[in-house]
Structure formats: structure tokens, C-alpha cells
Amino acid sequence: MNAVEIAAAVTSGRTSAASVVEDCLARIERLNPVLNAFTAVLGDRARARAAAGVKGPLAGVPFAVKNLIDVAGLPTLAGSKINRDHPPAAADASLVTRLEAAGAILVGALNMGEYAYDFTGENVHDGPSRNPHDISRMSGGSSGGSGSAVGGELVPLALGSDTNGSIRVPSSFCGLFGLKPTYGRLTRAGSFPFVSSLDHLGPLARSTADLAVSYDAMQGFDPADPACVDRPVDPVSGVLDKGIDGLRIVSADGYFRAGASAEALAALDAVGKALGASRSVTIPEAARARSAAYIITTAEGAALHLDRLRTRPDDFDPDVRDRLIAGALVPAVAVVQAQKFRRWYQQAVLRLFEHVDAILAPATPCVAPLIGQKTFVLDGKEMLLRPNIGVYTQPISFIGLPVVAVPVPTAAGLPIGVQIITAPWREDLALRIARFLEAGGVARAPLPKLEG
Amino acid sequence: MDEAALDVLIDAGTAVVGIDMKPEWRQAVRMHLAFSLERAAQVMEADLSDHLDPAPVFLA
Amino acid sequence: MAEAALAADRVHGDPAIWIFRRPDGDVLADARALEAEGPRGRALWGVPFAVKDNIDVAGMPTTAGCPGFSMMPAADAPAVRRLLDAGAVLLGKTNLDQFATGLVGTRSPYGVPRNVFDPALVPGGSSSGSACAVAAGIVPFALGTDTAGSGRVPAAFGNIVGLKPTTGSVSARGMVPACRSIDTISVFARSVDEALSVQRVIAGYDVEDPYSRVAPFPHLRRGSALGRVAMADVGGLCEPDVAAAYQAAGVFLKAEPIEIGLFLEVAHRLYEGPWVAERSAALRSIIDMRPDVLYPATRAILELGLERRAVDAFDAFHLLQEARREAGLLFGRYDALLLPTAPFCPGLAEVAADPLGPNRRLGSFTNFANLCDMAGFAVPIGFGPNGVPIGGVLLGPAWSEGRLAPLADALHRQFASTVGATGQALPPSAEPDTLAADETALFCIGAHMAGLPLNHQITSLGGRFLREARTHAGYRLFALGNRPGMVRADGGSAITGEVWALPTSAIGALLVQVPPPLGFGSVALDDGPVLGFLAESAGIGDAPDITHLGGWRAWLRTKSGD
């Protein structure tokens, strides 16, 4: 059952939160050994909360959070070994508190790539989280456990973080609806940072209604996150079904088609066709935007971890450590120039939104690769996999635009995501378009086939 | 940059920021640094106005 | 087909698969002769195959992977003879771990067949060449042998099916023995049903093989996929990707966890102990007279066997008997036991550095099956990093091949869609065999149904599931304690049950186990009358009437509170 179906059943008394929680915990116990999505399961906490009674639009809905989000009583791992030595978090992160205030029930913390510097969902300390549609494949990162847990129906709702694509990539690989809201929309208070100037939190779910209801529950200013913008709440649940009449929807061309696999292009074109998006638009300087995002990420990430790189280098995932060390050596002028470029690029892209309401682009260049895969073949050319998974997500989050990733089935039998990108603060439009695609059957979260 | 030049940068840079560079990391660090510097070069090539303000913490 | 096989062999280009490849001209001549003759009802007419080189083919040397042992047999092994008589076309004799001693596939002076997925990994053994020939798409099936896992481990590493038949069901005459009391010829194939169809050709009692056994019932008929599966908590002994794939397979089959420590221990104790002596016994004259012809790792193992003591063997016999009893109890409760085929796939370098350790670990989950008189199918259950295939084994008691087949086939198709490394789609599943002339359909309504406590009375007599069915309205169902009684009655209802095919000769053996007031009689189903369980109305007494629930399973559900 999706989140809103569970909430309706609990609210009407057709089922109880306690029974939902028991079913959920039983399913986690059965399937998590396969998927490795969870790093902590909070059975006692969830049972106690269900017994205490829950009310609200998410009444009785089990959810889980990427383990860089604070959960009272657990050390906030952020996928690392080093943070295991941290004291347990004293309180839940703001978003956890807000979801629970809406009736949801936290059931656990989720596996992720170390310090969120990852697109694969692999983790050397906890093992890889696995793709529920083919467990030999990547869940996508860095919110891999979030994608795996929701894709495998262990929970209907999970929170992830997205710095360069970490919500949208696992949504694409695991076949989910994922929302990366506008930068500054949702509070990040109580989460472990990666690149503060690019970090976002957001939900992954199996339907647009679930995204909308959870997103509404999480909105609202929070002075505890300096990047959180003080603006009125914009509820979207009530407007989801307003359709797409009058919306100007276009596809991104150029950079956003080059390097895409046949599956990615077929999904993009299917979505474009369903939306009547016959026109295309060129997002200027997307390649440079991606490079600038890369530079800011690697330098700011290195600054965040500098002390740990000095004192505990051997406790890092070597792949993360070596990238961060390289990041510490990037010239400062390049970082500042990247921020200047970001200003320019933002202005250029915002001008596009004077003429369009939404831009479509692939979420990932390919369907989920095999775990451990290092390269992929495109147009007969072998390319490095890891640096290229985020090529289409990175230039978008770089300027904080809201995106809904929608899952589209492919001929390969695995899902792939398409990004619906809108102007800042217009999550409502992206969700309406996603809802239209969902209602028309073009986008849907495939059921996992784990049980015979 | 060739390997030798990268190694000079790695040795000097890690010494400056206080990272104790180990030989077994070098090959991977060199590869990532080369990739980062390519990205940096692309950024630095951008022709930007002198009056453009950096966006250190970005507000959408 | 023979031409395609020869072409595929050329393209694959791995001479280490073969110890003796027949000349192309001979193979084609056989194929043309068969073509001229027409099928004449032969099951394997024109199908190319390969034979592990520890099985005799007349006119070709049998080396068992040891050139110094090479001898020229006068006659085909009966298994090979049956295949040739069924119209199959032999391509040649395949490489193996010398004397079938090993699970790695590297212990051969004839080279190491290339792992078809990653040349840095072992192909698996001992039936390395036969498995690779199928995995590479050269032949659709091949004969191997299996004593401790040689017919299963290389199937896992090649993403193909390995059928390990009931010991003694195929004549082992003409096979170089490894552990003679538990050896069997085995089958590598593209799918479970193709393996089963080959097995139907080669299986049969052979009075000249003292270890040959008479099948107690026709055991190679395919049923429908239905069964209660057990699995074990052995993920910790495996590489993480194997553990995850195993868990996923268990989830798919709804397997229930059980403890198998005794099985793991028995294999460990026997192969580390007295059972090595059985291998040494088979090759005693070579070890004594010409040890220098042996491959170093093989020699080291076989020489160990000479020092084993008979008193230890008796300890081992008793332990083994305990494990066999445990297996009997296990298969009273479950139709099959699911295990990983191998806990990992070692690299060639790892095996070169340590010839014994990785090999020993490979057999963790295969080496007790023959000792405990089990049969099984090894099937692909997914892929690990970089596309290395992972296998699982479904084990059942002796003579359970036909019953296991539909389960194993469903498992295979859930996790794999192509054969070996060929990229070719799996051959289609076979239909369940319809009721045979020597079988009787029996309508079961209670504890004899699948997964319920008395189902083993049916399966141990050779029963196989055909379908679910319902009676005409006109029956009443009563709960007589732990079993139901069905009585013909006006104003009754339709009752749901299962139709099982039982060897007609076994009806009496089942009937004597059925206590009054139950018995057999003709039951009117929607599609006609069949034999079924009925109760004498006099014996019902005041038992609760559960007719309104429509069947025994519904009654069990109300009792369990679900």
C-alpha cells in the first residue's frame, strides 16, 4: 500500500497503526537481508509510537531516513565508519519531527554511500544496498538505501539527500517518484552535511500523492538551518490533479541528450509525447555548470572533512578519501570562479523559465548498472561509469531548481527516471505534471518481484 | 598536466593542508586530481563579468 | 545442430575444454547419418553433446585427466550408449580435475577451461570442460559426474543447470570411480526440463553395476511447482553477494529457516577424514606404483587417504547414519532444501597460491548431498559484481528429481533469462506430465495436501501434484481432530482439494496408512469422478461441520487466527 492508502485505512479504522507497523517490520526482517537497505531498524520505537496513537495525513505510515539524518539515540553515520564513534543524536532531525507530527512512524535508518559522495549506493563498511528489481544491480546513490527500501516496498516513504543527484539517481534506478525541492525549501537541521551550498533533503515514494502529502508535512521555515528560506508554506496536495492545461512543457536538448542510452531517450520521449512537449530548449553552458558543481562539491567536501583526512585517513572508503584529497588541492580561484559562474548560469536558466513552465531531461544516462561495474558502453564507446551517472542531475541541483524524478518502464525490464524541472518554488507544477503522467500510466513505480 | 607536475602539486598541496599523503593513495589521487583540474580549467575558461558576484551560499 | 556446435566451438576457441575432440568430419558424418535415418521417435535425435573424460566411450581414450592413466575402453558406458541410441551426437571428451578430485577445475595437465564470464576466475570443477561446453553454447547438454559437488559447482560458475541425480539411478559402469559408493553421473543442461529429459534417457537399473538401484516409482515425471522449502542460515559463510542472492532465492520460494549444522559437519568430518580413503582405494595401484603421473594437488590428497584408519571409518559410518536419519526427517517436513551452490568463486591466482583451501571451501554446501542420499538441481540464482553468476541448489530426497523440477525451474527463471554466457533465451519450460497409464489420480482434501503434515506419505510413494480442484456441490466436510472427513450428502457444498498423481501400485501402500473412518472412494469433481478420500458417515459422530468454509485449508486458517 502507498502512504496515503495506509493513512486512509488507519484513519478510517480499517486497520491499525500497530498492525501496519508489525507488517512493515516483518517485511523488513524478511527482505532486508536481500536488499541491505537498512542500517538500523527501530522496532521498539515504532511499536511504542503506534501504540500511543497517531493522527494526521500520514497516520500510521512507516518511513525511514537516510542515515545522515539525525535519529535520537543513534549515531548519525552518514555512511561512514568514522562517525560510528560519534555520540548518539540527542534529538530527531526537524524533518523527522515534522513527518511524525503528521502521523508517520519512523522505523529505521538507511544505508548510503559514504559521506554522500557517491552515485552507486555501494558502501564499503555496510555493503551495497541493492536494487529491488535486480539485486545484482546498483540501487543508485548516494541515497541508495532510500531507493532500495521504497523500491522493495519495505517502507512506502523514505527521506534522502541530494547534493548533485542523490535523490534523483536512486529514484531512477529503483523506479520511484523522488522530489528534490527548491534549495532552501526544506530544513536540513539535524542532518550531516556534505556540500552545504548544494545540499537538499527530500522524499522518495511510490506515488505523486505520497510525495505531495509528505512534502506538505515537511514544509515551513526553520531558523536552525541557515539556508532555509523564510517563506509561506505552499501546500501542493490540493492542486495535484489540476492537470497540465496551459503549461508550457519542453524537453532539454543538446547536453541532455548527448550520452544518453537508448532507454533513457525512449523514456524521455515517451514522457514528452504524453505531455505534448513538442518543443525543445537548450540549457546554456550545461557542461560547464556540471564542472562548476563538481569543483564546488569536491572543494567544499574536502574542507568539511579536512580534519578527518588529517587524522583518520585509513578509516575512509579509499575511493571517497582519494577524491577528497584531490578536492583539497583544487585552486581557490577555480572555486570562486565556479561560484561566480553559478550566478551567471542561474540568471541564464531563469530567463528560460520566462517562456516555459517545465523542462524535461533524463535523470540518469542508463538503467541501473551492475554492482561493482566500473564502465559502461555508449555508442560503442566505453566510458567511466561513476563520474557519468550524475551528468544530467548535477547542472540542475547546481542552481537549486526543484525537480520531480518520475519512473518510466523500459524495454530492458528495468525502470529509468525522467526529471521534471521547474522554476524555483514551483514544486507544485512539477508535481502536477508528474501526477498527470502517473494518471496516464506513463510513469509508475514498478512492483518488486522479490517473492514468488 | 603530466604525472610529474601533478605529483609536485600533490606533495606541496597535501603538505600545506596537513594531509599525510601515503604512496599507495597516489595513483588514485592523481587520477581524481587530473579530473578535477580538467573541470576547474573548464570553469576558469568562462568569460565572466568583473562585476559578477560569487554565490557562496546560494539562495534560489 | 552438429554444424552449429562445431562452429560455436571454433568461435569460443578454448582447447582446454576438451581432452579428446572428435574430428569435425566424424561428428558431421554421424549427424548426416542420423539425418538420413530420420528421428524414428528418438528423444535426442541430432542433439550434440559432450562427455566428461572419466566416462567411457568406445574407441576413445579415457584419461580421467591423467595421461599416465589413459586406457582405451572396449565399450561405451551404459549412459553414453543410451544417449547415442537416443540419437545424440557426440562431440568429444571433456577436461576435468584429475580423477574428479577437486571443485576448482584447475587441477588438470590438459589446461584450465576458461571461465566463460571472467577468465581470471576458476571455471569450477571437477566437471569443468562439460560445464564450460554448455555455458559457452557449444552443446545443449553434457555429462559430468558428481561425488561432492562436481556436477553442481561448475554449473553455478557457468550460469547453467546441473542435475545431480539420485545416486545409483544412472549406471556408473564405465565411469572411473572417485568415491564409488556415492558417485553418480550427472547432467549439465540449459534448463531444468532439458536436464530432466536427458536424465529420462540415461537413468535405469543396471544389474552389472553393484551400486545401481531400482527406482521405487517413476521418479522423472514432472509435477507442478508447489512445495514447502527450507533454507539455512549460512549467509555468513558466503561472500556478501552470494548471501544476498541466496536470501533473495529463499524469499522467492518462501523458504523457512532450519538448522543444518549436522549436514555441514558430516561432510567436513568425512572428507577431511575416512572418505578420502575411498578415493585412494579407487586409485590404489596408481598411488602405490606410479604416483609421479598424478597432478601434484591430486597426489597430495590421495596419499592422505592411505593413512586413514578403519576404526575412524566406523565412527564416520555412525555419524553418517545420523545425518541420513536427519535428512529423512527433514524431507518429511519439507519438499526441498535450498542452499547456495558455492559460497564464492575463487580466482585462478587464489587457487594457485593455495591449492587446497579455496577448493575445500567451495564444497561447503555440496559435499553432504550424496553422502545423505539426496538428489538435486543446481540452478542460476543471479549475478554478483561484474556479472559473475551465482548458483543455488534445491535438494530433495533420493528419487525426487521429478518433483523438484518444477520448483527448480521456477527458481531458475526468476533469476536468469539467458543460458550460460550465450545471451540466448532459456528454452521454454515443459508442461507438467499428464496422468500416466500406471498412475491413479487421487483427490486429497486434508493433511495429505501440499505442505501439510501427511503430504510426505504421498510424495514418498512417488506422488506428484497435478492441480487444485473442487467437488460437485453435494459433500459435507467435518473436522476430525487433525484431519478432515468428507461425506457425500444431499444439500452439501463444493469442497476444495488437490489432485495428486500416485503410482497405481502405491494406492494400497497409502491406504494402509489411512485410519478409519477414512477411506478411498469415488469423488465427483467438476470435471468428472476421481478416487478420493471419503469418510464413513457412521464415524463422524459429533465432529464440527466445516462445510461452509469450503475446504480444509480455510479451516486451518481460522484455527491459526489469520
Q: Is A34 on the interface with C (CB under 8 A)?
A: yes
The set of cell numbers assigned to C301 is: 590428497
**Percentage of residues in chain C with pLDDT exceeding 70?**
99
- Which amino acid does the sequence have at A37? A
Task: Flag the least confident range among A134-148, A260-274, C66-80, C267-281.
Answer: C267-281
Q: Which residues have CB under 8 Å from C122's CB, separation 6+?
A: C104, C105, C106, C112, C115, C157, C345, C346, C347, C348, C351
User: Is the pair B, C in contact (3+ CB pairs within 8 Å)?
Assistant: no
Chain A contact for C407 (CB, 8 A cutoff): no
Which residues make beta-bridge pairs with C188? C142, C162
The per-residue pLDDT for C302 is: 87
Q: Do A135 and C244 touch (CB under 8 A)?
A: yes
Strands (E), C316-383: 336-340, 374-383
Question: Cell 501496519 belongs to which residue?
Answer: A20
C150 is a catalytic site residue: yes
**A411-444: per-residue pLDDT in tens?**
888 999 999 999 999 999 999 999 999 999 999 9
CA distance linking residue A28 with residue A8, whole number of Å: 22
pLDDT tens figures, C446-462: 999 998 999 999 999 99
Which of A30, A372, A452 is opposite residue C414, by nearest beta carbon?
A452
Q: How many CB atoms lie within 10 A of CB C288?
A: 10
8-state DSSP, C379: E
Residue-level pLDDT at A249: 98
Whether pLDDT at A375 is above 90: no
| CA dist., res. A423 & res. C17, Å (int) | 62
pLDDT at A264 over 80: yes
Amino acid at C521: G
Handedness of CA A427, A433, A436, A440 (dihedral sign): negative
Residue A227, pLDDT > 60, answer yes
* Banded model confidence at residue C304, pLDDT cuts 50, 70, 90: confident
CB of C28 within 8 Å of any CB in chain A?
no
Q: Would you state the pLDDT for residue B56?
A: 59
Task: Give the mean model confidence (pLDDT) for residues C281-302.
Answer: 88
For the stretch A116-128, pLDDT in tens is 999 999 999 999 9
Residue C251 scores a pLDDT above 90: yes
A-B CB pairs within 8 A amount to 133
pLDDT above 60: residue C561: no
Q: Is C408 on the interface with A (CB under 8 A)?
A: no
Sort out which chain B residues have CB atoms less than 8 A from A198's CB and list them: 58
Residue A281: the pLDDT is 97
Q: Does C253 touch chain A (CB under 8 A)?
A: yes
Beta strands C374-383; C439-444: pairing state: unpaired
Q: What percent of chain C has pLDDT over 90?
A: 83
What is the predicted pLDDT for the residue at A209?
A: 98
What digits encode the pLDDT tens for the residues A16-53? 999 999 999 999 999 999 999 999 999 999 999 999 99
State how far the alpha carbon of A420 is from the alpha carbons of A181, A433, A449, in Å.
11, 8, 27
Burial zone of C120 (CB within 10 Å; 0-12 exposed, 13-18 middle, 19+ buried)? exposed
Of the candidate ranges A233-237, A240-244, C219-223, the one whose mean pLDDT is the lowest: C219-223
Mean pLDDT throughout A385-406? 95
Distance from B5 to chain A by nearest Cα, in Å?
A: 13
Nearest to C17 by CA among C188, C147, C161: C188
C469-480 core/surface letters (b: 16 or more CB in 10 A; e: else): bbbeeebbbbbb
Q: How much is the CA Rg of chain B, to the nearest whole Å? A: 15
Q: Which residues contact C32 (CB under 8 A, 6 or more apart)?
A: none
Q: Kindly report, residue by residue over A80-109, the tens digit of the pLDDT.
A: 999 999 999 999 999 999 999 999 999 999
Mean pLDDT of A338-348: 95
Average pLDDT over residues A316-335: 96
Using CA atoms, how far residue C118 sits from B8, C113, C347, C386, in Å, is: 38, 11, 9, 9
Give B29-60 pLDDT, tens digit per residue.
999 999 999 999 999 999 999 888 887 555 65
**Contact criterion met (CB < 8 Å) for B46 and A285:** yes
Q: In the sheet that C528-535 helps form, which strands lie side by side, from edge to edge?
A: C464-470, C496-503, C439-444, C528-535, C518-525
Average pLDDT value over all residues in chain A:
96
- Cis preceding-peptide flag for C126 (omega within 30 of 0): yes
- Cβ contact A295–B59 (<8 Å): no
Give chains near A: 3+ CB pairs under 8 A: B, C
Strands C336-340 and C256-258: unpaired
Q: What is the DSSP string of C63-111?
A: -TT-GGG-B--SS--HHHHHHHHTT-EEEEEE--SGGG--SSS---TT-
Contact partners, residue C395, CB within 8 Å, separation at least 6: C336, C337, C338, C339, C369, C374, C375, C376, C404
Instruction: Quote the cell numbers at residue A206.
Output: 511510490
The pLDDT mean for chain C works out to: 94
pLDDT of residue C487: 94
| Whether B19 contacts chain A with CB within 8 A | yes
Do residues C342 and C391 lie in contact, with contact meaning Cβ atoms separated by under 8 Å? yes
**Residue of A322, A345, A399 to mutate, interface with B, max B Cβ within 10 Å:** A322
Q: Which amino acid type is present at position A231?
A: R
Catalytic residue annotation of A = 66, 142, 166
- Whether the CA torsion C40, C42, C48, C52 is positive or negative: it is negative
Instruction: Say whether A452 and C241 touch across the interface (CB within 8 A).
Output: no
Interchain proximity B55–A340, CB inside 8 Å:
yes
Q: Is the Cβ of C120 closer than 8 Å to some Cβ of chain A? A: no
- Residue A26: list chain C partners with CB under 8 A: none
Between C288 and C206, the more confident residue is C206
pLDDT at B58: 55
pLDDT for residue A58: 98
User: Is the Cβ of C237 closer than 8 Å to some Cβ of chain A?
Assistant: no
pLDDT at B57: 59
- CA distance linking residue C204 with residue C212, whole number of Å: 8
Q: Which three cell numbers stand for residue C534?
A: 471419503
Residue A361: strand pairing partners: A419
Give the model's pLDDT for residue C373. 96
Give C-chain residues touching A30 at CB under 8 angstroms: 251
Residue C335 in grid coordinates: 519438499
User: What confidence score (pLDDT) does residue C387 get?
Assistant: 81
Q: Position C431: which residue type?
A: E
Q: Which one has a higher pLDDT value, A258 or A405?
A: A405
Residues of C in contact with A134 (CB under 8 A): 382
Q: Cα–Cα–Cα angle for A250, A252, A255, nearest 5°?
A: 170
Of the partner residues B9, B19, B46, the one whose CB lies closest to the CB of residue A341: B46
pLDDT score recorded for residue A57: 98
Chain B residues with CB-CB distance to A339 below 8 A? 54-56
Picking from C160, C96, C146, C147, the residue whose alpha carbon sits closest to that of residue C126 is C96
Give me A373's grid cell: 561495474
Cβ within 8 Å, pair B29-A399:
no
**Tens digit of each residue's pLDDT (9 = 90 or more) over C10-39:** 999 999 999 999 999 999 999 999 999 999
- Mutation target to probe the A interface, by most A beta carbons within 10 A, among B16, B31, B58 is B58
Peptide bond into A142 cis (omega under 30): yes
Euclidean distance between CA atoms A76 and A64, whole angstroms: 14
Residue C225 has pLDDT above 80, yes or no: no
Tell me: pLDDT of C331 over 70: yes
Cell of A304: 568539511
Check CB contact under 8 Å for B39 and A184.
no
Eight-class DSSP state of C424: P
pLDDT tens profile C407-441: 999 999 999 999 999 999 999 999 989 999 999 99
pLDDT surpassing 90 at residue A387: no
Are A334 and B13 a contacting pair at CB < 8 A? no
pLDDT value of residue A238: 95
Residue B3 near chain A (CB below 8 Å) = no
Does the pLDDT value for residue C192 go beyond 60?
Answer: yes
Picking from A169, A86, A101, A95, the residue whose alpha carbon sits closest to that of residue A129 is A169
pLDDT in tens, A282-310: 999 999 999 999 999 999 999 999 999 99
Q: How far apart are CA C344 and CA C358, in angstroms?
A: 9
Gap from C11 CA to chain A (nearest CA, Å): 22
**Interchain CB distance below 8 Å, C385 and A370:** yes
Type of residue at C18: W
Contact B29 A326 (CB under 8 A): yes
| Residue A312 clears pLDDT 80, i.e. is over it | yes
